[in-house]
C-alpha cells in the first residue's frame, strides 16, 4: 500500500478546504424536483435567496425572511411595521418576472444568492426564464406552483429546499386548519345561497379577472360565485365595460382600490349595481400585502376568513381582530398593536 508523504497530504487537505470555501454548493448539494418537474441541484445550506417576483417575495417573507437578500420593490413606509423586522432594511434588487421586470443578470449575480425562487404560474414562459437564468448565472432556480389550492405543497417543497421544514410544517398546519374550517362552512351552504361577486381593480373598478384565475381564486375558494365567467381569456386579468358589470349585476363587490371604494356609491352607473345599492362594496385590507390579491401569494390565507365573514357572517364565530393578530404573529412574526389593527380594518367595510 502506497503511503502519502506528510507534505502531500497537507497540500491535499488545503486544496479540498479551498474548494469547499469557494464552491460549497458543488461539494455539499442535493437534488430536488420543483413544481415544474425540473431537477434542480441546490446547496445543502441555503442562506441567501433571491425572490424572482412579488409572490415569491411574500412566500420568502413568511417562510424564511432571514434568508431574503432584497426586495423586488421598496416597501412603502406604511408597510414596514407589518413586515418582519429582519427584512425592513433590505436593499431593492428588482424583479425577474412579471410586469416591469427590473433585475438584469448582473444584478442577480451581484446579490450573491445561493438560490433563486419563483412562485406563481407554471407555464412554458417561466420555465424558459428559469432555465435560461440558471444556465447563465450558475445559480439554482426553483419554480414553486403558486395556485392557492397547492399552498401546502408549496410550503413543503420550499421548506425542504431552504432547510426550514419545521417552520414550513407549522405554517402548513395553520393553513390546513383554515381550509378545513372554510370547507365545513361551504358543505352547509347550498349553491343558490352563495353570493355573486365581482372583483373591482384600479380606480375605475373596470379591471377584473376571469373565474379560475390566480387573482380571483381566493374569492371562489371562500364560496363566492365570480360573475366574470370563463371565456377565451380564462385565467387572466381583463378590462370590462360598465355595461357588462351592470349585466352581471353582482350582489357583492370586492375591491383592492381605495379610490374605487370611495367613489362607487355616488358614481353614475355604479350606483345602479345591486352590490352598491345594498352597500356591499368591501375594500380589502392591504398591509403589508393585500388579503385578496396584489400579490397572489400566501398573504391571501387571512383573506379567506375575511371573505367568509362577508359572504356568510352567521357561520363564522369568533373575532376577526383576534384572528388577525394571531395570523400576523405566526406568518409575519409581528405583534400587532391595537392601532395597527385599526389601520388594517378602517374603511374596509368588512367584519372585524
How many C-beta neighbours within 10 Å does residue 10 have?
11
Output the pLDDT for position 75: 96
Spans in the chain with pLDDT lower than 70:
1-28, 98-101, 230-235, 347, 349-352
Instruction: For residue 68, give the C-alpha cell.
Output: 431574503
**Taking the model in full, what pTM does it have?**
0.86
- pLDDT of the residue at 122: 87
Closest CA to 194 of 248, 247, 250, 240: 250
Tell how far CA 131 is from the center of its chain: 22
CA dihedral 232, 238, 240, 245 (to 10 degrees): 90
Edge-to-edge strands, sheet with 115-120: 49-51, 115-120, 141-145
**CA–CA gap between residue 159 and residue 137 (Å, rounded):** 23
Please tell me the predicted confidence (pLDDT) of residue 16.
44
Domains along the sequence of the chain with CATH: 29-172 (3.40.50.1980), 191-345 (3.40.50.1980)
Predicted pLDDT at 235: 58
pLDDT at 13: 47
Tens digit of each residue's pLDDT (9 = 90 or more) over 271-281: 999 999 999 99
pLDDT at 232: 53
Nearest one of 215, 237, 234, 218 to 120, comparing CA atoms: 215
Beta carbons within 8 Å of 326's beta carbon, 6+ residues apart? none
Sign of CA dihedral 218, 219, 225, 229: negative
Which pLDDT score, from 0 to 100, does residue 237 have? 86
Amino acid at each position: 500500500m502506497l503511503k502519502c508523504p506528510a507534505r502531500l497530504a497537507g497540500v491535499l487537505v488545503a486544496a479540498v478546504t479551498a474548494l469547499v470555501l469557494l464552491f460549497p454548493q458543488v461539494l455539499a448539494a442535493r437534488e430536488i424536483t420543483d413544481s415544474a418537474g425540473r431537477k434542480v441541484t441546490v446547496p445543502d445550506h441555503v442562506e441567501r435567496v433571491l425572490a424572482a417576483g412579488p409572490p415569491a417575495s411574500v412566500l420568502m417573507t413568511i417562510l424564511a425572511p432571514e434568508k431574503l437578500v432584497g426586495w423586488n420593490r421598496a416597501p412603502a413606509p406604511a408597510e414596514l411595521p407589518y413586515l418582519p423586522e429582519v427584512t425592513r432594511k433590505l436593499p431593492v434588487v428588482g424583479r425577474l418576472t412579471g410586469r416591469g421586470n427590473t433585475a438584469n443578470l448582473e444584478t442577480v449575480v451581484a446579490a450573491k444568492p445561493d438560490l433563486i425562487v419563483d412562485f406563481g404560474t407554471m407555464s412554458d414562459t417561466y420555465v424558459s426564464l428559469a432555465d435560461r437564468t440558471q444556465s447563465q448565472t450558475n445559480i439554482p432556480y426553483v419554480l414553486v406552483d403558486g395556485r392557492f389550492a397547492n399552498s401546502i405543497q408549496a410550503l413543503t417543497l420550499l421548506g425542504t429546499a431552504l432547510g426550514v421544514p419545521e417552520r414550513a410544517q407549522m405554517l402548513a398546519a395553520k393553513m390546513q386548519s383554515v381550509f378545513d374550517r372554510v370547507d365545513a362552512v361551504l358543505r352547509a351552504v347550498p349553491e343558490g345561497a352563495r353570493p355573486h361577486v365581482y372583483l373591482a381593480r384600479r380606480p375605475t373598478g373596470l379591471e377584473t379577472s376571469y373565474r379560475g384565475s390566480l387573482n380571483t381564486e381566493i374569492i371562489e375558494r371562500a364560496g363566492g360565485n365570480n360573475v366574470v365567467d370563463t371565456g377565451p381569456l380564462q385565467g387572466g386579468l381583463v378590462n370590462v365595460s360598465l355595461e357588462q358589470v351592470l349585466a352581471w349585476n353582482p350582489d357583492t363587490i370586492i375591491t383592492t382600490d381605495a379610490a374605487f371604494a370611495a367613489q362607487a356609491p355616488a358614481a353614475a352607473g355604479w350606483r345602479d349595481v345591486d352590490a352598491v345599492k345594498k352597500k356591499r362594496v368591501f375594500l380589502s385590507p392591504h398591509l403589508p400585502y393585500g388579503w385578496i390579491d396584489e400579490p397572489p401569494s400566501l398573504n391571501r390565507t387571512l383573506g379567506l376568513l375575511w371573505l367568509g365573514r362577508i359572504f356568510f357572517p352567521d357561520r363564522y364565530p369568533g373575532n376577526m381582530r383576534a384572528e388577525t393578530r394571531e395570523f400576523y404573529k405566526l406568518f409575519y412574526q409581528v405583534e400587532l398593536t391595537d392601532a395597527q389593527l385599526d389601520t388594517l380594518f378602517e374603511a374596509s367595510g368588512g367584519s372585524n
